[in-house]
Amino acid sequence: MDILDYVARRSELVNRALDVMLPGEDNAPQVLHEAMRYSVLPGGKRIRPVLAMAAAEAVGKTPDSVLPLAAALECVHAYSLIHDDLPAMDNDDLRRGKPTVHKVFGEAIAILAGDALLTLAFELLSSPETVRVYRPERVLVVIGELARAAGSHALVGGQAVDILSEGKQVDLKTVDYIVRAKTGALIRAALVCGAVLAGGNHEQVELLGRYGTDLGIMFQIKDDILDIEGDPAKMGKAACKDESRGKATYPGLLGPERAKEMIRGLVASSLEALRPFGDAARPLALLSRFVAERVH
Amino acid sequence: MDILDYVARRSELVNRALDVMLPGEDNAPQVLHEAMRYSVLPGGKRIRPVLAMAAAEAVGKTPDSVLPLAAALECVHAYSLIHDDLPAMDNDDLRRGKPTVHKVFGEAIAILAGDALLTLAFELLSSPETVRVYRPERVLVVIGELARAAGSHALVGGQAVDILSEGKQVDLKTVDYIVRAKTGALIRAALVCGAVLAGGNHEQVELLGRYGTDLGIMFQIKDDILDIEGDPAKMGKAACKDESRGKATYPGLLGPERAKEMIRGLVASSLEALRPFGDAARPLALLSRFVAERVH
């Protein structure tokens, strides 16, 4: 199995679903829907949706069985990027090689487009089409998991601590909190929600949650290493942004070598959690290596 | 029945529920949770939660049977106020007589506190406690209604058009869209969701939705009249804000007399929708008059 090909095919599924599930640009208010689509389409690697689909496969379902969840995860991710990029937050001009939403549409519309995408995630998950396909009890568990992963103790909390820590001397414990809350929680939720929606049993959900926790931390450490060592042209954003704005990261605090050691440990631990799934989790195993070894 | 006393007792129920359901200020990140609680507690009139509880009563349940919904509605309302008040939006310094969230906690935390409150609404509705009490199918309908009422075709869409219309010559059609989307949709959702969660049948939900649509428009027209004629000390905010920032409103476009006529028509129409409920809808009938006649 070629994992790049696997990711490309799964991303294509998500892209098509998002194109249909996001309101069209001709919907009023047009500029708001343009901004929402601008931020989500064509988009990045779709890691979270791909993970949710791979989790569904690990418990024996097809990837397209969790498409509304996959789309919802990407809406939450896109919303968090729009708000993170705002002048009052990270004040970024460039994202995925394009001007950020507030640069193109202005700050007010950027805030509102983020708000609308977060809201849309919950609309997609509770839509009548979803409810016809899945057991309502499971959909409610998924909504709860997603809300917690996006909430003040996870995604939003991590971003708050990240912003408050900027330019300050920050210890490892704080970096660990930021990584787990800001990045780890939503990646873990992608796995857990994919498994729950696809009918996984308690043990399967638990194991995929552990895999997701490892992968989330690994994903962020790799991101931070790429920020230091990566090729700005391939990244679609400036290099060494973290250092220049005084953001504390694992590689920044421990040095890149120890950070890479951490990644190797997390890959091993993530693969361990997949063992009981056998071949059904082969894509997830490859995804773990893919995340650890990507160059942008 | 004294409607002021009724509203006060119901608000007290909601305030106690919110105090428990909002994360404590000692939860990390503290400043984020302080900002969330600052914006929600002790709060305003709790119109949306009171309406949801009254809808539950109209279909034969007790008001406390829909408390998680009542709290969720207030979280969505508080989030929308925080984001509306931001410098990039309405740039307001004062809300309910207190400095706005971004004035006290800064812009970044204000954006994040709003994000977290919107997310918390969906967490509350999907929490295991909720799911133990209500039929999951009904909870999912409620989540869908709330998400649509808060989304890009309603609350967020209305705010976008409101912002984009500022200082421009705006016609009645646009004002009507803004009022229905920005204020009407969430008030209608309070009624519909209250009725659905409390087990109301299709016809009851439909009638209460019609009542809610009338009430939502009436509520906003009254707000706009109070902005022109009200006592700033009682309002907790400056008077004639709409005119000074060139916002188009019904009383602004039609004059206060015709706007008051509209209110009388909406009161009559809202009462009409309540007729089949008999005495069970007495609080809702009084609330309609209360909203139309309030002085702040």
DSSP assignment of A93-104, as one string?
SEETTEE-HHHH
Q: What is the pLDDT of residue B234?
A: 59
Q: Which of B111, B146, B152 comes nearest A36 by C-beta?
A: B152
Neighbouring-strand partners of residue B122: none
Q: What is the pLDDT of residue A248?
A: 80
DSSP state of A180: I
CB A147 to CB B111 under 8 A? no
- Chain B residues near residue A91 by CB distance under 8 angstroms: none
Helices (H), chain A: 3-21, 30-40, 47-58, 67-85, 101-105, 107-125, 128-133, 136-150, 155-165, 172-178, 185-197, 202-229, 232-235, 241-244, 250-254, 256-274, 282-293
CA-based nearest distance B145→chain A, Å: 8
Q: Flag whether the ipTM exceeds 0.85.
A: yes
Q: What is the pLDDT of residue A168?
A: 87
| Model confidence at A227: pLDDT above 90 | no
Q: Provide mean pLDDT across the span B231-241.
A: 60
Query: B86, B156, B161, B165: best mutation site toward chain A, by most A Cβ within 10 Å?
Result: B156
Q: Provide mean pLDDT across the span B261-288.
A: 97
CA-based nearest distance A291→chain B, Å: 28
Share of chain A above pLDDT 90, in %: 84
Judged by DSSP in three states, B99 sits in: strand
Q: Does B166 touch chain A (CB under 8 A)?
A: no
Crossing angle of helices B202-229 and B282-293, in 10° steps, is: 20
Q: Which of A131, A148, A164 comes nearest B123 by C-beta?
A: A148
Q: What is the pLDDT of residue A214?
A: 98
Are A107 and A87 in contact by the 8 Å Cβ rule? The answer is yes
CA-based nearest distance A32→chain B, Å: 7
Crossing angle of helices B67-85 and B3-21, in 10° steps, is: 80
Q: What is the pLDDT of residue A217?
A: 97
CB B152 to CB A33 under 8 A? yes
Q: Provide mean pLDDT across the span A251-276.
A: 96
The Cα A72–Cα A21 span in angstroms is 9
Q: Which residues touch B272 (CB under 8 Å, ≥6 apart)?
A: none
Residues 178-207 of B with CB under 8 A from A: none
Q: What is the pLDDT of residue A84?
A: 97
Q: What is the pLDDT of residue B81?
A: 97
Q: Which residues touch B162 (CB under 8 Å, ≥6 apart)?
A: B178, B182, B247
Are B137 and A136 in contact by the 8 Å Cβ rule? The answer is yes
Q: Provide mean pLDDT across the span B114-120.
A: 98
Q: What is the pLDDT of residue A234?
A: 59
Q: What is the pLDDT of residue A295?
A: 80
Q: What is the pLDDT of residue B96?
A: 83
Cβ-count burial A133-157 (b if 16+ within 10 Å, e if not): ebebebbbbbbbbbbbbbbbbbbbb
Q: Provide mean pLDDT across the span A44-50.
A: 93
Are B134 and B65 in contact by the 8 Å Cβ rule? The answer is no
Going by pLDDT thresholds of 50, 70 and 90, the confidence category of residue A21 is very high
CA-based nearest distance A289→chain B, Å: 32
| Model confidence at A10: pLDDT above 70 | yes
| Model confidence at B240: pLDDT above 70 | no
**Cα–Cα nearest to B135, from B200, B87, B59, B202:** B200
**In the A/B pair of chains, how many CB contacts fall below 8 A?**
161
Give CB contacts under 8 A, 24+ apart, made by A248-253: A248/A165, A248/A170, A248/A174, A248/A175, A248/A178, A249/A175, A249/A221, A249/A224, A250/A175, A250/A179, A250/A220, A250/A221, A250/A224, A251/A221, A251/A224, A251/A225, A252/A224, A252/A228, A253/A170, A253/A172, A253/A175
Q: What is the pLDDT of residue B231?
A: 65
Cβ-count burial B220-231 (b if 16+ within 10 Å, e if not): bbbbbbbbbebe
Q: Provide mean pLDDT across the span A251-258.
A: 92
| Model confidence at B237: pLDDT above 60 | no
| Model confidence at B141: pLDDT above 90 | yes
| Model confidence at B101: pLDDT above 60 | yes
Q: What is the pLDDT of residue A231?
A: 66
Give CB contacts under 8 A, 24+ apart, made by B86-93: B86/A111, B86/B110, B86/B111, B88/A106, B88/A107, B88/A108, B88/A111, B89/A108, B89/A111, B89/B159, B89/B163, B90/B163, B90/B245, B92/B237
Across chain B, which distance is largest between two alpha carbons, in Å? 51
Q: What is the pLDDT of residue B236?
A: 56
Are A13 and A67 in contact by the 8 Å Cβ rule? The answer is yes
Q: Does A122 touch chain B (CB under 8 A)?
A: yes
Are B99 and B35 in contact by the 8 Å Cβ rule? The answer is no
CB A139 to CB B136 under 8 A? yes
Going by pLDDT thresholds of 50, 70 and 90, the confidence category of residue B167 is confident
- Chain B residues near residue A88 by CB distance under 8 angstroms: 106-108, 111
The Cα A243–Cα B73 span in angstroms is 41
DSSP state of B277: G
What is the per-residue pLDDT across A173-225, written as a single tens digit (0 to 9) for each?
999 999 999 999 999 999 999 999 999 999 999 999 999 999 999 999 999 99
Q: Provide mean pLDDT across the span B116-130.
A: 94
B77 exposure class (CB count in 10 Å sphere: 0-12, 13-18, 19+): buried
Q: How far apart are the first and last CA of chain B?
A: 21
The Cα B221–Cα A12 span in angstroms is 47
| Model confidence at B211: pLDDT above 90 | yes
| Model confidence at B67: pLDDT above 60 | yes
Q: Does B174 touch chain A (CB under 8 A)?
A: no
Q: Does B253 touch chain A (CB under 8 A)?
A: no
The amino acid that residue B277 corresponds to is F
Q: Provide mean pLDDT across the span A230-254.
A: 71
| Model confidence at B112: pLDDT above 60 | yes
| Model confidence at A243: pLDDT above 80 | no
Q: Does A136 touch chain B (CB under 8 A)?
A: yes
CB A112 to CB B147 under 8 A? no
